[in-house]
Amino acid sequence: MGTSPDNGIARLGAEPSIYGITGGVSLIGMTLIGAAALVSTRPARAVPAFAQQTGQPCKSCHVGGFGPELTPFGREFKIGGYTLRTHASVPIAAMAVSSFTHTAKDQVPAPEHLDRNDNLVLDEAALFIAGGVGKHFGGFAEITYEGIDRHFTWDNLDLRAVTTGKLFGADATFGLSFNNSPTVQDAWNTLPAWGFPFTDTEVSGTPGAAPLIDDALAQGVVGLTAYTWIDHSFYLEGGGYSSPARKTLSFLGSDPEDPGSIHGLAPYGRVAWQTKLADGTFELGASALKTALFPGRDRTSGFTDHYTDLGLDSSWQKTLGATDTLSANVRYEHERANLRASCALGLLGDGTDPGCARYRLDEWRGAVRYTWHDRLGLTVSPFSITGSRNVNVFENGSPNSNGVMGQVDYTFWPDSSSPLGPRFNIRVGAQYTAYGRFDGRHSNASDNNALRLFTWVAF
């Protein structure tokens, strides 16, 4: 996915963004808007190279025969370091997402490279290197051309080393993940990197406020985490993230100043418990990320911006008959932030109050999906973001937004039976997002309602 040039500190005071918010928005407001933008452009991922490697049809690993929602087998494959192999494979895959988006009200002025409304775009085209090598190593790396921003960038990266053994008398997998986005290594589709919506666009506006863990650090950091998966039931993970050098990120196509550089290491932790429940697979988990950032990499204030993100998540997935699946994913995220550096630097407030940007956010996201005959999917996904008022941070002084997204999609060859070969697959779909509140306002919230028709090709 990469970062968007519209989401960063570098754009402070720039022209009105594609979100229809004017250039007077504060630095951190823009950063938070950037986080939301990244959420809105959450990547669509399916890796046919893994299907060839395992000899399994798409639907073995993915609900509905298309990524990224993982089945129990898909989770085991990922936690196992992508090492399961039954066939030689070409470890390269590709995908492309294009879409047409209509918003309830024209965006004025028109976003850069786009019309005010009814935009037909190539959202992204991506190339994957993906595979497992022997019993202990596997992973994937992704390179993306972002069609709206018109540039290449590195994208999701997850390289693993794994082994198996016993822990407390039970079978256990032990692994390391080197990755570039907190939660991209996760095996459940509740956390930000792989949560619903599985594909979205930068074309239409999205709420400005979002916790930092909602992809704002994606491709702007690197991290190493260690994990264990005990008795196929308990998952424990811990590690940390840091910021690569400015030149490195620039070279890789990410904005090095968005949202800033991490001071030291940002610790990340994750626990999850999975069990059978009502003939389905149930998961309950928690996650934590604590981050101290130098905003825009500016260290001159002597302070950092502090974010503490604590999350709870749960999922349940059940196969009905041979080809239908019902799944539910829900996540709650609580963030406390104190952006002292931004206040001290005068990026927020008037520069006299180092406590000018304390706030909390509470985010709920859920998604219930029914997949019929591994092809036709219907998803309903409500969401809510609430938090403390702060005129220095949030557009309109309030982070509150809520709404619901509905999606209908159709996958052509979930059983890998495409006439163009088993690696080729297409999903088409329609999404509609309706807002009840948008950046604190009820009035005119529905102006941001959006209909998106998309095609997603993987091969």
Partner 1 sequence: MSRRDFLFAAAVGGGAALGLAATSAQASNKMSPRAMSYRPSPNGQQRCDNCANWQPPGACKLVDGPIAPSGWCILYHPKK
Tell me if 119 contacts partner 1 by CB under 8 A: no
Contact pattern from residue 197 through residue 226 relative to partner 1, giving x for each residue in contact according to CB under 8 A and a dash for the rest: ------------------------------
Strand bridging mode 234-242 / 222-230? antiparallel
Give least dist CB 128 to partner 1, A: 9
Give least dist CB 112 to partner 1, A: 20
Tell me if 248 contacts partner 1 by CB under 8 A: no
Tell me if 187 contacts partner 1 by CB under 8 A: no
Give least dist CB 245 to partner 1, A: 15
Tell me if 228 contacts partner 1 by CB under 8 A: no
Tell me if 251 contacts partner 1 by CB under 8 A: yes
Tell me if 189 contacts partner 1 by CB under 8 A: no
Give least dist CB 222 to partner 1, A: 15
Tell me if 76 contacts partner 1 by CB under 8 A: yes
> How far is Cα 190 from Cα 6, in angstroms, rounded to an integer?
26
State the residue for tokens 């018109």.
150
Cβ atoms within 10 Å, residue 344 = 23
Binding positions for partner 1, 272-291, rule CB under 8 A: 276
Structure tokens that stand for 348 in this block:
């927020």
Structure tokens that stand for 114 in this block:
């786009």
Q: Is the dihedral of CA 52, 54, 55, 59 positive or negative?
A: negative
> How far is Cα 442 from Cα 448, in angstroms, rounded to an integer?
11
Spacing of C-alpha 344 from chain mean position: 31
Tell me if 141 contacts partner 1 by CB under 8 A: yes
Structure tokens that stand for 419 in this block:
């006439």
Binding positions for partner 1, 53-72, rule CB under 8 A: 53-57, 60, 71-72
Neighbouring residues of 80: CB distance < 8 A, sequence distance ≥ 6: 162, 173
Q: 15 or 171, CB closer to partner 1?
A: 171
Tell me if 324 contacts partner 1 by CB under 8 A: no
Tell me if 315 contacts partner 1 by CB under 8 A: no
| CA distance between the termini of the chain | 18
Tell me if 84 contacts partner 1 by CB under 8 A: yes
Tell me if 334 contacts partner 1 by CB under 8 A: no
Q: How many residues bind partner 1 (CB under 8 A)?
A: 43
> How far is Cα 237 from Cα 230, in angstroms, rounded to an integer?
11
Binding positions for partner 1, 415-434, rule CB under 8 A: 415
Give least dist CB 92 to partner 1, A: 4
Tell me if 179 contacts partner 1 by CB under 8 A: no
State the residue for tokens 């991490």.
262
Tell me if 319 contacts partner 1 by CB under 8 A: yes
Give least dist CB 412 to partner 1, A: 18
Give least dist CB 31 to partner 1, A: 24
Give least dist CB 68 to partner 1, A: 19
Tell me if 5 contacts partner 1 by CB under 8 A: no
Amino acid letter, residue 74:
G
Segment near partner 1 (CB under 8 A); pick from 194-202, 250-258, 328-336, 445-453: 250-258
Full DSSP string of 216-227: TTTTT-EEEEEE
77 closest CA partner among 1, 194, 173, 192:
173
> How far is Cα 210 from Cα 371, in angstroms, rounded to an integer?
29
Amino acid letter, residue 115:
D
Full DSSP string of 435-452: EEEBTTBSTTGGGG-EEE
> How far is Cα 338 from Cα 209, in angstroms, rounded to an integer?
15
Spacing of C-alpha 214 from chain mean position: 6
Q: 84 or 310, CB closer to partner 1?
A: 84
Contacts with partner 1, residue ranges (CB under 8 A): 53-57, 60, 71-73, 76, 80, 83-86, 88-92, 127, 129, 131-135, 141, 143, 152, 154, 162, 164, 171, 231-232, 251-253, 276, 319, 322, 415
